[in-house]
Structures are given as C-alpha cells and as structure tokens.
Amino acid sequence: MLSFIDKYLSKEWKEYLNIHKELKAYKKNEIIFHAGEEGHGLYVILSGKVKVSYL
C-alpha cells in the first residue's frame, strides 16, 4: 500500500520535505503541541499512535 506522501505529493514536494525534514521521537504521553499555538511544521507519524484531545 502506498503512503499518503507517495500517493498524493508531487516529486518536487517530496524532495522539499526530504531536504527540510527533522526527525523527532516523543515519549508516551508527551505533549507535542497545545491548541492555539502557532504552527511550525508538518507532523508525519512514522510509527506508533497519537491521541488528539482538547482540554
């Protein structure tokens, strides 16, 4: 099965993402960002899962 990136992004966008990527690992229950914060990038989940909640 093709990933979203492979299926929908152009070659140019894939090259851009590859050049500008920054891999990060997060611990279980670690907060990645809070609602209302200014966006600083695109998050792609390579493995595991993410819980999205609004408190």
* pLDDT, tens digit (0-9, with 9 covering 90-100), for 15-43: 998 899 999 999 999 999 998 999 888 88
* pLDDT, tens digit (0-9, with 9 covering 90-100), for 11-20: 999 999 889 9
CA distances from residue 55 to 21, 23, 26, 49 in whole angstroms, order as listed:
30, 27, 20, 19
Domain-by-domain residue ranges, the chain?
A: 23-55
DSSP H helical segments within 1-55, as ranges? 4-8, 11-20
**Ramachandran region of residue 25, left (φ > 0), alpha (ψ -120 to 50) or beta?**
beta
